[in-house]
Amino acid sequence: MDFRTCVNIQKEWDIVGARQFGRDFSKKLGFGIVDQARIATAISELARNIYLYAGSGKICFDEVENVGSRGICIVAIDTGPGIKDISQVMEDGFSTSGGLGAGLPGVKRLMDEFDITSKTGEGTEIRVVKWVR
């Protein structure tokens, strides 16, 4: 996919940059302030996962369209260790109990669509979409 913009995530400060970009982008697409806040929180979670577990990666943004509705597509890509057991990280309470925040189930709740692919040793790609209501 040819993404319009990507934000590299290497240091904690980059999380803020990704949030800022995502918020501005979603505002432009017509999201209300609640959804802007949700999208920013989802970006935080995705970016923090990259920063904490993969070391480095990027968050890419694109506009998507589907029969008359507009949305934001966010893809988080890293070349980290990958996730061995995806079902486990998608379980409620698995990451949150460790105090790591909303975790991937939280991201899934914040967004409308969620897709994850991961290969051990190669990295993880998480694609999420939210539609303007």
Partner 1 sequence: MDALKLDLSHYRELLKQYINTQDESALYEAEQISKRSIQHNISLEEIINTHINALEDIYPELPENIQHSMSFLLEVMISYGLALQEFQDLRETQLEIKSEISVAARMQNTLLSTVKPDVEGFDIGVVSVPANQMNGDYHHFIHHEDGTVGITVADVIGKGIPAALCMSMIKYAMESFPSEHKNPSEILESLNRVVERNVDPSMFITMFYALFNPAASTISYSSAGHEPGFYYHAADDTFEEIRAKGVVLGVTDMAQYRQYEREIHAGDMIILLTDGVTECRQGDRFIESEEVLEVIKSFSHLSAQELVENVYKHFEKLQDFHLRDDFTLIIIKKDV
Give the residues lining the site for partner 1 (CB under 8 A): 32-34, 37-38, 40-41, 92-93, 96, 101-102, 105-106, 109-110, 112
Beta-carbon contacts of residue 28 (< 8 Å; ≥ 6 apart): none
Minimum CB distance to partner 1 smaller for 115 or for 122: 115
Closest CB 74 distance from partner 1, rounded Å? 16
Closest CB 2 distance from partner 1, rounded Å? 29
Closest CB 70 distance from partner 1, rounded Å? 17
Minimum CB distance to partner 1 smaller for 27 or for 81: 27
**What radius of gyration, in Å, describes the C-alpha atoms of the chain?**
14
Closest CB 86 distance from partner 1, rounded Å? 18
Instruction: Enter the tokens of residue 96.
Output: 């949150």
Angle at 76 between CA 71 and CA 81, to 5 degrees: 160
Minimum CB distance to partner 1 smaller for 9 or for 40: 40
Measured CA to CA, the distance from residue 114 to residue 88 in angstroms comes to: 16
Measured CA to CA, the distance from residue 109 to residue 132 in angstroms comes to: 15
